[in-house]
Every structure is written in C-alpha cells, then in structure tokens.
C-alpha cells in the first residue's frame, strides 16, 4: 500500500512506524514542513499505561523513550509564598524534540521515507498524492486539511477564553510537577511547570483574557512576552530565563485553546489523525498520547484485511469514543483553570490544592488517599477542624463533618432530596409517609426533605400530592415530624410548592407530566404558555391571583412552623409556579412581573419574603432553583443562576439548593456523574453563598470529593435513597467511621457492626487477591 503522511508530528510519524511494523512492504512517505530539529514545544507527559501500549506496539522505540524518561511523583502548588506538596502522582515525561528524534530515527530504520521542509498545499493534494492508496492528515491543531472542509469533517471547534503560551526554562523542577500562581498588578497569572530532561523544563503560562489584555501581551514579540513572564515568575526561576521556540506561530505566541472534535474523520481515502481530528486540553496532558494511540488503532485496522473504507470507519468509531471520554475529563480541568479566580481568594491553601487535584473529576477522594494517605488525612483534619471550630484528633470523612444554618446544626452533609410519593389522599400524608420518612430519618442522613408539599388543592401536581393547606394535613405532618424528632437525630425540611403550569397531571408512574384523563382542574401560570403541547394552557395570573397564592404560601408556612419542621424550602425549580415566573420560557408577561430577570424574580421574591417573615427567625430557609434550562441563552443560564441565588440570599435565604432543568421538554441536559454539581460550585464560589448539589451523586467518593473541594456545602441524594434508606449508615460502616457525624439507632447497632466487619474483610480480601 502506498501511504502519504501529511505532517510529521508524533501522530504522523508513529502511524508510519506502526504501518511498517505490520507490513514492511507498505511504501510510506512522511511530509513535514519543518526541519527535523525545528519542532515547537517542550515536554510531553505520559502515563504508565500509555507506555505499556507503546511497548506492545513497538518495543524498540518504546525502550528508547523509556531510557530517557524523567520520573516525578509530587505535585507542588505554590501560592502566596507557600508550597503545598502532595505525592504519589507518578508522572513520566520526555522532551518533544527528543521523542520526535527517536521516532524519526526508528521510522528511517524501518524504511519510511522522511521528506522534511516539504510544505503541502491542500489544493495540490489530488495531484501531488493522487497515486497514494491512503492519505493521512496528520497536520496538527491548525490542520489545513480539516479547515479546508470544516463541514465535510463535521467539525466542532470551541475556542476557549483563556490565553496561554508554551515556554521552556533551564530551571529544574527536580521531583515535582509544579503550579505557580502569582497575583500581579493586572490580576492572577499561573504556570504549569515540569522537567522533561536533565536541564530543561516546560513552563506553560496561562491567564484570563482580561489579564492578558491589561499586560499587553498581544503587542509584545515572543521574546518580550517571555521576558515579561520571567519577571512575573522570577522567584521560582532561580535566575534562569524563560525560552520561546514558537517561531512557527506568526503574531503573538499566546493562543486560545481550541477544543476540536470532528464527527467525520474520513473523506474517500483520506483520514484524520491526532490533533487534526481532536484536541485535549494541555492541563490533562493527553494530546500526544491520543495521537500515538490513534496511530496504533489506524495501523491495526488498515492491516486487518478489512476493505479500506470499513477499516477507516472502524478506526474512527473506536477512537472518537476515546477522544470524547478524554475531552470530558479535559473539559472539567480546563473549566477549573478558566474559573480559578473563584477559588483562589476564597479557599485556603489546602482546600485550593485539593480542588486543583480533583478538578477533572477523574481523581477522587479515595484516589488521593491511595496516592498520599498522610496528605489526605491532613486535609480531612483541617476541614473537620474548620467545621467543628476546634482542632480534631482524628481525620474525619468530609461527609461526616457538621454544618450549621442559623440555629440548626446538621450532623453530616448528606441530604435526602425531596421526592414526591404521589401517595397522599386529599393531600393528607398517610401511614406510607410515616414509614417512608421515618425510615429515611433513621438511615443516617443529616437532613431529610419532604416531597413537594402543596399550598392549595389547585397547587398540586397530581391528585396524589401531599399538601399543607388544612388542619388534617398539618396534624398528619406533625405526627411524622414528632417521629423523626423523637427517634432520630435527623433534621426535617418541608419543601413548599405550587405546581403552576405543570399541575393537574397523572401520578409519576402513570405518566410523568401528562394531563389527567378526567377531572382536570384549572391551572395557573405567569402567562398562558403551556409546559408542553400536551399540557393544559394555564390561566395567566392576575394580580388578585398573585395575592391569593401569596396568602396561601404564608398560611402554609405558618402550619409548617406549628407542625415543627426544622427547615423550610421554597420550591422555585423544575417549571412549577415560582420557577415558571423565573424562566423566560414560561413567563411572557408584559407587566413588572415579566421581562428582565429582575422582574421575573419579583413574585418569587415577594413570596419568599412573606414566608420568611412568618418562618421563625432561628430556623433556616432554602430555595431550590433550576440553575439552567439546558437550552443555552434561550433560557436560564448558570450565570443567571448566580444572580438568582444572590437575590434570594439578599431576601434572607440561607442556602440555595441547586437543581436544573425540567422547565421545558425541549431541554438538552448533559447527563453524567454529578452533572449538576458545576452549577452549585459556580453559585457557591462566585457569589459566596452556601449551596447544595444534587443530581447523579451516588457514591461515597462523590460526596466526600464535592464537600472537600468546596463545590457545595451539602449533597442531596434522591434515587439512591429510594433503594437504600440506610445509604449514610452504610457509608459510615464502609469508612469505619464512628464519630458524631452519624447516629445508628441503638436497635440496629448489631447490624451496623456486622456490616462494618464484613466490609472490612471484603476490602482486605480484595487487597490480598
């Protein structure tokens, strides 16, 4: 097979090597515009697993790389003159130039033709390479081939806001990957630095666009830019200069990272590989790995005996999935650096470091324990001391630290999220509710929520929804509250709501959000806009309706106080009445209750103030919001959610319960583990407001990581509690935790002890296996 590799970076040359290894008869030429020694960039980082893959593919080049790898184990975070060091991270690195020399040499040995200083033009590809059976587009990040047909390659390019420059230095960072954060007169600038040969290190400098503009980097030559950075990071450079080798970049050497993913990598006999097809943010250091592994996969498929088109498609299918996975972790990491100013002033050194280390959500609390137990236990003690207001003798799992809101102290950070049971009769909670909430409260969570409990018959979602508008309901709730208070240490929160445009629908298991087959009641909304085409059109509320609803909220709050609840939450999420006022999707009013966000918030805030005025001052109040309508700028965005959170806190809310969506059937949520937690993080750390995270949080590790990284103050788990009321007790047993953060009912102690023993035995057996 005759193969033209257009671009002689790691992906292109490694493809040539991998093809030759599988069939020496292939005729392969690599065309590279630069001279062999001209390459840009400094070091590259690999994992042990990548090295194993390379070794299996070509033991010869792998060994040459391994012989020159630099190893380091620590990550050092330098901030405000202090260094926080954690270990066990296990990196390996090599200079990009040296790695390419090894690969070029190996390619030549195998009979690959290397054509340096050959710059191809896209227009001439058909004539210059018309006789090739396979054309490999390996021309990197700014691939001319891909860019000449963005549509054909179904290219998705997202240019990120931060600016960065890839520099080098002869300063050695012997045994650690170092992050340096410097507060300059124009704002924060930071560097990611690691050594890759005996006397050279990579030094990537990054900042937000505002800081870049104020420093005027755009107008500096590459050398002036490097010199300005040297002055900024002088104290870390031991008298060394910062070096630039980005002559290939015209204009400023600083660039914005483009996140690239093509959904079609194939055009006839031409195929994309490496950065031409996809990128992964440098902060997770996987771009070269992806390119090399693409090469292995392409070579495998091209030599598998499949017809060419089938082989190319199989290659794309496998590698696109891999690229997507990495991009998802890289997105979290990239976004952490884009928003670093949220954390840098708010967090102390240790929590800041923890947040940095767990930024991609691939490294969790327990991963950190495996890497550096002593460091992690130090963090656990610091966080616990802060929560208790005094030093602690032993490390405490972050989920088992206390949390106080006004006069209410929760023993831990686990919350049973509100969940409608659709099992009330005429709004009256029944024996089902007593057993349900009673057992949830004995399960160990610090805070247990009721389901959405409605302020009026018309405010119900379904005929089975619970309410608190009459004496019978109040008494039934009081019975449950009394059980929770007399038999458990959990605190109990009532979620107060009105269904608005989503009312008069079937119980959940008969058809979520579907109107009743008969006996529908009139529903209310901010405007005559239905939730979906299938739902009733609500009656647009008059001011008189608003007065009535406000009065119903106030009287329900009075009843909740008398029933003895510890906390109250106003449900302003999921498209129900107050949420419908907030989202522009359902609020089209032209009076002062519609229009800009400030107006759309007016009625929910009036309700909140009315309820807060009635609710005892020493008891806290939360507000649940939908922090995104999952419809981009057409609906509520996370930036709006920060303003919404601030508005409720200014009105007296103590904590924002950050959910998302359910405001439109057209929403396009991006699901995944802890998928709504970034919204809780943004509100908490941009506005300085306590938050609860919710949504696909189901592992012990999730809760510990979210709390320790300061992404939220409390974690709500809904579905996990439906299947396991004792989720928190189990979590305590699994972590062999016995402190004040959990209270196993004495009646159940023997079960707790047995579970703990069994779990420890199983863990020990797994270690010995």
Interface with ligand FAD (CB under 6 A) = 7-12, 31-34, 41, 44-45, 119-120, 138-141, 144, 166, 204, 274-275, 282, 285-289, 291
Contact between 459 and ligand FMN (CB under 6 A)?
no
Min dist CB 303 to ligand FAD, Å, is 20
Neighbouring CB atoms inside 10 A of 638's CB total 17
DSSP string covering 451-474: EEEESSGGG-SSTT--B-SSHHHH
Torsion of CA 577, 578, 583, 584, to 10 degrees: 70
Taking the complex as a whole, the smallest distance from the CB of residue 140 to ligand FAD amounts, in Å, to: 3
Measured from the CB atom, the residue of 174 and 510 that comes closer to ligand FAD is 174
Q: Which does 120 bind (CB under 5 to 8 A by kind): ligand FMN, ligand FAD, none?
A: ligand FAD
Options 186-194, 368-376, 387-395, 411-419: segment touching ligand FMN (CB under 6 A): 411-419
Single out the segment in contact with ligand FMN by CB under 6 A; choices: 73-81, 379-387, 412-420, 759-767: 412-420
In whole angstroms, give the CA distance from residue 205 to residue 95: 18
Task: Decide if residue 571 touches ligand FMN (CB under 6 A).
Answer: yes
Q: How far is the CB of 694 from ligand FMN (least distance, A)?
A: 4
Helices (H), 23-75: 48-57, 59-68
The residue among 203 and 726 lying less far from ligand FAD, judged by its C-beta, is 203
420 binds, among ligand FMN, ligand FAD, none (CB under 5 to 8 A by kind): ligand FMN
Residue 741 site contact among ligand FMN, ligand FAD, none (CB < 5 to 8 Å, cut-off depends on kind): none
Phi, psi torsion values for 150, nearest 5 degrees: -60, -40
Contact 516, 463 (CB under 8 A): yes
Half-sphere exposure of 56 (CA within 13 A, CB side): 10
Measured CA to CA, the distance from residue 209 to residue 61 in angstroms comes to 40
List Cβ neighbours of 510 (8 Å cut-off, separation of 6 or more): none
Cα-Cα-Cα-Cα dihedral sign, residues 208, 210, 211, 215: positive
329 or 573, CB closer to ligand FMN?
A: 573
First-to-last C-alpha distance (Å) of the chain? 48
CA 571 from centre of chain? 25
Residue 299 found at the interface with ligand FMN (CB under 6 A)? no
| 418 lies in the binding site for ligand FMN (CB under 6 A) | yes
Stretch that binds ligand FMN, among 52-60, 305-313, 607-615, 714-722 (CB under 6 A): 714-722
Residue 413 binds ligand FMN, judged by CB under 6 A: no
Between 283 and 504, CB nearer to ligand FAD:
283
Given ligand FAD, ligand FMN, none, residue 361, with its beta carbon under 5 to 8 Å by kind, binds: none
Question: Taking the CA of residue 740 as centre, how many other CA atoms within 13 Å lie in the half-sphere pointing to its CB?
Answer: 11
3-state secondary structure of 240: coil
CA distances from 604 to 58, 538, 599 (A): 65, 18, 10
In 10 A of CB 740, how many CB atoms?
Answer: 13
Length of the chain: 769
Among 374, 365, 368, which residue's Cα sits nearest to residue 397?
A: 365
* Cα 137 to Cα 102: distance, rounded to the nearest angstrom: 21
- In terms of Cα–Cα distance, which of 666, 571, 695, 683 is closest to 627? 683
Element containing residue 176 per DSSP (H, E): strand 176-184
- Of 626, 505, 501, 616, the closest CA to residue 565 belongs to 616
Residue from 69, 377, 696, 751 in contact with ligand FMN (CB under 6 A): 696
For ligand FMN, the nearest residue by Cβ is: 718
DSSP H/E element including 496:
strand 491-497
- DSSP 8-state class, residue 263: S
Q: Which does 696 bind (CB under 5 to 8 A by kind): ligand FAD, ligand FMN, none?
A: ligand FMN
Q: Where in 64-133 does DSSP place strands (E)?
A: 70-72, 74-79, 82-86, 91-95, 113-115
Q: Using CB under 6 A, which residues numbered 646 to 675 contact ligand FMN?
A: 659
Binding residues for ligand FMN, how many (CB under 6 A)?
A: 20
Q: Which of residues 479-498 bind ligand FMN (CB under 6 A)?
A: 495
Under the criterion CB under 6 A, does residue 451 sit at the interface with ligand FMN? yes
Q: How far is the CB of 351 from ligand FAD (least distance, A)?
A: 26
Nearer to ligand FAD, 34 or 423 (CB): 34
For residue 686, the partner it binds in ligand FAD, ligand FMN, none, with Cβ less than 5 to 8 A by kind, is none
Closer by beta carbon to ligand FAD, 291 or else 397: 291
Query: Nearest approach, Cβ of 276 to ligand FAD (angstroms)?
Result: 6
Window contacting ligand FMN (CB under 6 A); options: 203-211, 385-393, 415-423, 604-612 = 415-423
**Binder of ligand FMN out of 631, 709, 718, 742 (CB under 6 A):** 718
**Which listed option, ligand FMN, ligand FAD, none, makes contact with residue 575 (CB within 5 to 8 Å by class)?**
none
Distance CA 764, CA 761 (A): 5
By beta-carbon proximity to ligand FAD, the closer residue of 45 and 419 is 45
> CA–CA separation, 281 vs 336, rounded Å?
12
162, 156, 151, 367: which is closest to 281 by C-alpha? 162
Given 104, 212, 422, 576, the catalytic residue: 576
677 is an interface residue for ligand FMN by CB under 6 A: no
Structure tokens given for 483: 């059980």
Residue from the set 222, 240, 612, 624 that interacts with ligand FMN by CB under 6 A: 624
Give the span between the Cα atoms of 451 and 454, in whole angstroms: 9
Least Cβ distance, residue 452 to ligand FMN (angstroms): 3
Return the SS3 of 174: coil
Closest by Cα among 717, 670, 704 to 363: 704
Give which of ligand FMN, ligand FAD, none residue 288 binds (C-beta under 5 to 8 Å, depending on kind).
Answer: ligand FAD
Strands 266-267 and 270-272: antiparallel
From the list ligand FMN, ligand FAD, none, which binds 41 (C-beta under 5 to 8 Å, kind-based)? ligand FAD
If contact means CB under 5 to 8 A according to the sort of partner, which of ligand FAD, ligand FMN, none does residue 275 touch? ligand FAD
Question: Of 262-270, 645-653, 713-721, 761-769, which segment contacts ligand FMN by CB under 6 A?
Answer: 713-721
Phi, psi of 73 (to 5 degrees): -120, -25
417 binds, among ligand FAD, ligand FMN, none (CB under 5 to 8 A by kind): ligand FMN
Residue 691, SS3? strand
Contact partners, residue 199, CB within 8 Å, separation at least 6: 170, 172
CB 677 within 8 A of CB 358: no
Q: Is 419 in the site for ligand FMN (CB under 6 A)?
A: yes
Nearer to ligand FAD, 10 or 710 (CB): 10
Our answer to whether residue 315 is catalytic in this structure is no
Residue 419: which of ligand FAD, ligand FMN, none does it interact with, CB under 5 to 8 A by kind? ligand FMN
Residue 9 C-beta: closest distance to ligand FAD, Å = 2
Q: By C-beta, is 282 or 593 nearer to ligand FAD?
A: 282
Exactly one of 86, 327, 420, 504 binds ligand FMN (CB under 6 A); which one?
420
Which CB, 277 or 625, lies closer to ligand FMN? 625
Q: What is the DSSP letter of 505?
A: B
Contact residues for ligand FMN (CB under 6 A)?
Answer: 417-420, 451-452, 495, 508, 571, 573, 624, 659, 694-697, 717-720
Which residues participate in catalysis according to the annotation? 576
């Amino acid at each position: 097979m005759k193969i033209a590799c257009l671009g002689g970076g790691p992906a292109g040359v490694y493809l040539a090597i991998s093809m030759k290894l599988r069939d020496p008869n292939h005729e392969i030429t690599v065309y590279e515009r630069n001279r062999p020694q001209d390459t840009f960039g400094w070091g590259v980082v690999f994992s042990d697993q990548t090295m194993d893959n390379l070794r299996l593919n070509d033991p010869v080049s792998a060994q040459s790389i391994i012989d020159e790898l630099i190893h380091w184990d620590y990550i050092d975070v330098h901030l405000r003159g202090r260094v926080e060091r954690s270990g066990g991270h296990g990196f390996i690195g090599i200079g990009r130039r040296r790695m390419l020399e090894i690969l070029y040499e190996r390619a030549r040995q195998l009979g690959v033709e290397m054509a340096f200083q050959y710059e191809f033009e896209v227009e001439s590809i058909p004539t210059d390479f018309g006789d090739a059976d396979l054309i490999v587009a390996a021309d990197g990040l700014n691939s001319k081939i891909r860019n000449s047909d963005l549509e054909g390659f179904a290219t998705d390019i997202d240019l990120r806001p931060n600016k960065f420059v890839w520099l080098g230095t002869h300063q050695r960072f012997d045994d650690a990957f170092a992050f340096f954060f410097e507060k300059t007169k124009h704002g924060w600038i930071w560097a990611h630095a690691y050594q890759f040969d005996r006397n050279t290190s990579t030094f990537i400098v990054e900042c937000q666009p505002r800081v870049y503009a104020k420093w005027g980097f755009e107008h500096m030559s590459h050398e002036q830019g490097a010199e300005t950075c040297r002055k900024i990071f002088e104290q870390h450079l031991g008298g060394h200069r910062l070096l630039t080798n980005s002559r290939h970049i015209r204009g400023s050497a600083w660039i914005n990272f483009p996140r690239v993913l093509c959904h079609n990598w194939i055009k006839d006999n031409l195929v994309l590989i490496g950065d031409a097809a996809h990128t992964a943010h440098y902060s997770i250091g996987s771009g070269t790995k992806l390119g090399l592994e693409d090469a292995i996969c392409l070579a495998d498929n091209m030599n598998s005996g499949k017809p060419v088109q089938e082989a190319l498609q199989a290659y794309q299918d496998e590698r696109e999935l891999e690229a997507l996975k990495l991009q998802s972790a890289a997105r979290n990491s990239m976004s952490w650096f884009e928003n670093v100013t949220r954390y840098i002033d708010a967090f102390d050194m240790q929590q800041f470091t923890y947040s940095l280390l767990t930024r991609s959500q691939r490294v969790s609390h327990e991963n950190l324990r495996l890497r550096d137990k002593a460091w992690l236990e130090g963090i656990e003690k610091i966080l616990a001391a802060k929560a208790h207001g005094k030093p602690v003798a032993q490390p405490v799992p972050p989920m088992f630290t206390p949390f106080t809101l006004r006069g209410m102290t929760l023993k831990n950070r686990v919350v049973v999220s509100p969940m409608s049971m659709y099992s009330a009769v005429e709004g009256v909670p029944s024996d089902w509710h007593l057993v349900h909430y009673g057992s949830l409260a004995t399960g160990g969570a610090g805070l247990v929520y009721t389901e959405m409990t409605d302020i009026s018959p018309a405010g119900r979602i379904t005929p089975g929804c619970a309410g608190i508008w009459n004496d019978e309901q109040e008494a039934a709730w009081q019975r449950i509250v009394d059980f929770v208070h007399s038999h458990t240490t959990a605190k109990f929160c009532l979620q107060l709501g009105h269904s608005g445009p989503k009312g008069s629908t079937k119980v959940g298991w008969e058809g979520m959000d579907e109107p009743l087959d008969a006996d529908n009641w009139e529903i209310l909304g901010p405007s005559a806009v239905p939730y979906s085409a299938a739902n009733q059109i609500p009656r647009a509320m008059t001011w008189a309706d608003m007065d009535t609803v406000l009065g119903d909220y106030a009287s329900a709050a009075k009843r909740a106080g008398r029933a003895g609840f510890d906390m109250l939450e106003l449900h302003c999420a999921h498209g129900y009445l107050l949420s419908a006022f907030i989202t522009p999707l359902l609020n089209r009013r032209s009076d002062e209750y519609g229009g800009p966000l400030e107006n759309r918030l007016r009625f929910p805030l009036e309700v909140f103030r009315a309820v807060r005025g009635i609710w005892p001052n020493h008891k806290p109040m939360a507000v649940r919001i939908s922090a995104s309508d999952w419809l981009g700028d057409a609906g509520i965005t996370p930036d709006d959610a920060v303003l919404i959170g601030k508005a409720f806190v200014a009105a007296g809310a103590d904590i924002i319960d950050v959910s998302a969506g359910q405001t439109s059937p057209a929403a396009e949520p991006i699901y995944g583990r802890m998928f709504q937690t970034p919204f809780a993080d943004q509100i908490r750390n941009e506005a300085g407001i306590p938050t609860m995270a919710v949504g696909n949080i189901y592992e012990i590790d999730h809760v510990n990581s979210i709390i320790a990284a300061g992404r939220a103050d409390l974690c709500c788990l809904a579905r996990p509690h439906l299947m396991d009321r004792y989720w928190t007790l189990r979590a305590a047993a699994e972590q062999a935790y016995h402190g004040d953060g959990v209270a196993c009912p004495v009646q159940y102690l023997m079960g707790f002890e047995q579970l703990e023993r069994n779990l420890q035995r199983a863990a020990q057996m797994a270690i010995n296996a």
